[in-house]
Amino acid sequence: KNMSIIIKTRAQIDLMRISCKLAAEVLDYIEPYVKPGITTLELDKLCHDYIVNVQNAYPSPLNYQPNPKGPAYPNSICTSVNAEICHGIPNDKPLKNGDIVNLDITVYKNGVHGDTSRTYLVGDKVTPQAKRLVQITYECMWLGIKQVKPGNFLGDIGHAIQTHAEKNAYSVVQEFCGHGIGEGFHEDPQVLHYGKAKTGPQLQAGMIFTIEPMINQGKRAVRFSSNGWTALTKDRSLSAQFEHTILVTPDGYEVLTVSPNMPAIPDFMK
Ligand code: MF3
Ligand code: CO
Ligand code: CO
C-alpha cells in the first residue's frame, strides 16, 4: 500500500502543539462534569461551547464526513459508554453510577488538528474488573508510545500494545487504528494497535500521529450501530480507549496532547 507520511515543518509542529494542548485541556475541563445523571449530550454541549467560545477553535468531529456515502458526524465530541468501542454519538440518556465512558476530543485551530481521548469512571461503583480494563488500556497506550523513536518500526508500537493486552486476557480491536494528523484529521500512516515487531515503515523525526488503542474485555469482534458511526463489542463486553497525539523527535517522542490534569504517567515510562 502506498503511504505518504508527511514530515512536519517546525512551523507546523509549533501549531500542532497549540491544537493538541487545547484538545487535552477540554478533557481536563469536562472531567468534573462526568458524574452519574449527566447525559452525553450535555457533555457534548459543554465541550462544544468551551471549544468554540473559550478556545476560539472548531470541534473537528462536527459535520465530519470521511465517507461521502456515509452520514456526517452530528456532534462535537465522541462519547463511547461501556460496550461502545468508539464513535459513540451523544444522546439524552443519563450516565449511571458504575459506567465507563470514553470522551474523544479533536480540536481544529490555526489550520491543524489535535486529537486525544480518555476513559472516565462514572461515580464510585465502577467494578474492579472494569477499573482494571481501563488501567491496562492506559498502560497499552503508553507502552505503544514508549516504542516511538527514529529508526523503530510502526509495527513495534502495535506489537507492544497487543502483547500487554493479550497477557491480561483482553483483545485488541482491529477495525480502527491510530493515524497521522496535522492539516488533515486522518492522514497516513495507519497506526495499527496489533502486529509484528520490526515490520512496517520506520519512524522519522517530524512525523506526528496518534496512538489510540481500543481494548475489549471479551472478544475483539465488532458490530456497527445502524446510526452509521458507533462501533460496539459484538459480545457486549466492555471496551476502553485512551489516545494521545505524538511527535517523533530526534531522541524519541514528545506527547503533544498534554494538560495539567492528565492522568499520571505509568512508572515504566521513567
Ligand atoms: N477522534 C476520533 C479519532 O481518534 C475520530 C472521530 S471521527 C468522528 O480518530 F467523526 F466520529 F468524530
Ligand atoms: Co480521537
Ligand atoms: Co484519533
Q: Are 173 and 216 in contact (CB under 8 A)?
A: yes
Give the ligand 1 atom nearest the CA of 104.
Answer: 1
Residue 142: its H or E element: helix 128-146
C-alpha 75, offset from chain centre: 17
Q: Please tell me the predicted confidence (pLDDT) of residue 3.
A: 85
Please give the grid coordinates belonging to residue 207: 512525523
Q: Please tell me the predicted confidence (pLDDT) of residue 191.
A: 98
Residue type, 152: N
Distance 234 CA to ligand 1 centre (A): 20
CA-wise closest residue to 87 among 236, 223, 203, 206: 223
Mean pLDDT of all residues belonging to the chain: 98
**Across residues 190-207, what is the average pLDDT?**
98
Q: Please tell me the predicted confidence (pLDDT) of residue 1.
A: 57
Model confidence at 22: pLDDT above 80? yes
Model confidence at 189: pLDDT above 80? yes
Q: Which residues pair with 245 in a beta bridge?
A: 210
Tally DSSP H helices, then E strands, for the chain.
4, 15
Query: What's the pLDDT tens digit per position in 100-151?
Result: 999 999 999 999 999 999 999 999 999 999 999 999 999 999 999 999 999 9
Q: Please tell me the predicted confidence (pLDDT) of residue 156.
A: 99
Q: Which of 115, 117, 141 to mutate to test the pocket of ligand 1 (most atoms within 8 A of CB)?
A: 115
Instruction: Tell me the percentage of the chain whose pLDDT exceeds 70.
Output: 99
**Across residues 242-266, what is the average pLDDT?**
99
Query: What's the pLDDT tens digit per position in 52-63?
Result: 999 999 999 999
